[in-house]
Chain A
């Protein structure tokens, strides 16, 4: 039984080269950095400027709600774009 937990038991896609893995990984990190920046800005504004978040923003919705909704939509948008780019990056 020893060693039965080793990796490499999966049926990997043969067309998936290490170079493609690396380029996807790089793309993932760029998207991650983008989102992290937006999230950090949002959290810091809520922490240190709660009064400013109360003010009305886009279409009259308060900044707190508008930014929060925006952040959720941004996550969905980025993940769909990432999925699309990964797919079109394959040969």
Chain B
């Protein structure tokens, strides 16, 4: 779909983004020391930190990605919500307090607290960088998806804008301002998700929302990309003028139970029950290429019962659940394991334990985080289903479902939701860049390279590192622009869980763990999971343009194999390197 620039949403958007960034400048002007830059001086209140956890964690993947997945494929998107939240249980019950006890600025500090080993610092620093970069990709892709409908600008402009603003935030301020950006954004995101959810329930369900004749759109739509001549829709050039055509918005109910045309306001349980008994029109793309090199994507409507939509296996990546003969089930199990193990292994989340005063504050802020994040994930189901039935979504981009749902209510809400989503990306990207710059300067340059840097020099180097990481993130965001952002985040979780969790858990609970064991486990977990992803069917198809069947590994999500591999490596290497005198 093409999008026009409109002043009102743009003005509201600009106001919210400027207010957030301005506040961060103001609050961050106090952070000058290394402890202030990397860990906000350990002086953040637990409640603020808890909401900032939500702001840090609820990234573009959660808001744009999950809502889009539910809107396009139903229940499978909600499975991501459940997995993302479950990971917090590991963070609270197992990791939170020891993390606070053992570390100072970075995840590597915690792993290395018992040994003072350069090997551990190298491995943990590298894995922090790898995970953070992987996690940055979907955030940047999400930013591009937001800016497209809001400003009518191409994808890459959005990616570059986020990159520029974040580099500005991080280099001028560090962790204090990042914390407040995340706090504000976390609070705004949950509040406005609640507003959206209430509006969705108030509107209830309407047959063929957005259509002029009371019938859902049932004709296939075709997009042809002709090299040198741009995009053509159903045989006409894409645009809004005469002799031009555009994709029509989709997301409609074909029929409601007992033949009614609309339900009126519904309660939360009643809403889910009515959806189950409705018939809903979904749009699935098929892609073809002709000998001239023109690529045609056909979006064809298919009417599906609500009850089928609410069971697992609609998402193409999860289709194996319903196909007993294939590896698909293992792919799904592998993803759910990675989501469970990944949260407590994400370096940009773990560093938030250093911004509070003590272990009790670490624990309390995690509980606030879980409550906030849990409330949000419950609402993702309503927002996703609301988008699915709003008659307003773009069949060619699942990442835009949530903002377009907001636009189906009003331009104001659209502007506010887009601005919040944009600050969502800003908050998460800032945290990731701080974590990466901490890994580069604190772990790799000072820890491994033994370069003697004063506190002020560390901060200056970290700012240079932030600019570099930001530029890499912009490039990657443009490269990966076509993929659903939540799916991409699934990979980041797999790498984090495989590289970091075995080391973290066994360090806490197994006395015979050695420095060599930790180093080996982190490196093996990281390399094996990255290699698995690069050799998987999904990457073959989406990145290399090769058939998925040619992939070297049987299923795409690595966690089921590489997380146990990390544990095994640590145990074997530790046993082989036991100190002689105990």
Contact = CB atoms under 8 A, between A and B. Distances in A.
A61 B370 contact: no
B359 A32 contact: no
Interface of A: 1-3, 5-7, 9-13, 16, 21, 24-25, 28-29, 31-32, 35-36, 39, 42-43, 46-48, 50-51, 53-54, 56, 59-62, 64-65, 68-69, 71-73, 75-76, 78-80, 82-83, 86
A2 B449 CA distance: 11
B148 interface: no
B272 interface: yes
A47 B332 contact: yes
14 contacts: A1-B446, A5-B442, A6-B113, A7-B109, A10-B42, A10-B100, A12-B359, A50-B311, A62-B310, A64-B312, A68-B75, A71-B82, A72-B85, A75-B86
Contacts of B101: 7, 10, 21
A7 B102 contact: yes
Given A1-B453, A5-B442, A68-B78, A31 B93 contact: yes
B321 interface: yes
Nearest to B310: A62
B178 interface: no
A10 B358 contact: yes
B377 interface: yes
B86 A32 contact: no
B104 A28 contact: no
Nearest to A9: B104
Contacts of B332: 46-47
A39 B340 contact: yes
A76 B97 CA distance: 18
Given A65-B272, A72-B374, A83-B363, A46 B321 contact: yes
A90 to B, nearest CB: 8
A4 to B, nearest CB: 8
A7 B450 CA distance: 18
Nearest to A42: B82
B336 interface: yes
Interface in B304-334: 307-308, 310-313, 321-322, 329, 332-333
Interface in B286-312: 307-308, 310-312
B105 interface: yes
Given A61-B269, A79-B89, A79-B92, A7 B311 contact: no
Interface in B355-382: 357-360, 363-364, 366-367, 370-371, 374-375, 377-378, 381
- Interface SS of chain A: helix
B104 A82 contact: no
Contacts of B98: 25
Contacts of B89: 31-32, 35-36, 39, 75, 78-79
Complex A-B, nearest 3 residue pairs according to Cβ-Cβ distance, in ascending order: A28-B93, A54-B311, A32-B93
Given A29-B94, A35-B89, A5 B105 contact: yes
Give the size range of B's interface with the partner: 35 or more
A71 B371 CA distance: 13
A53 B311 contact: yes
Contacts of B452: 1
Contacts of A69: 378, 381
Contacts of A7: 101-104, 109, 113
B447 interface: yes
B371 to A, nearest CB: 5
Interface string B75-96: 1001101100110111011100
Contact of A47 (B310, B329, B358, B359): B329
B446 to A, nearest CB: 7
A64 B371 contact: no
Interface string B180-212: 000000000000000000000000000000000
Given A21-B359, A61-B276, 13 more contacts: A5-B109, A7-B109, A10-B101, A16-B358, A43-B336, A48-B329, A56-B276, A60-B269, A60-B273, A61-B273, A64-B310, A68-B79, A75-B374
Contact of B371 (A42, A50, A80): A80
Contact of B75 (A2, A64, A73): A64
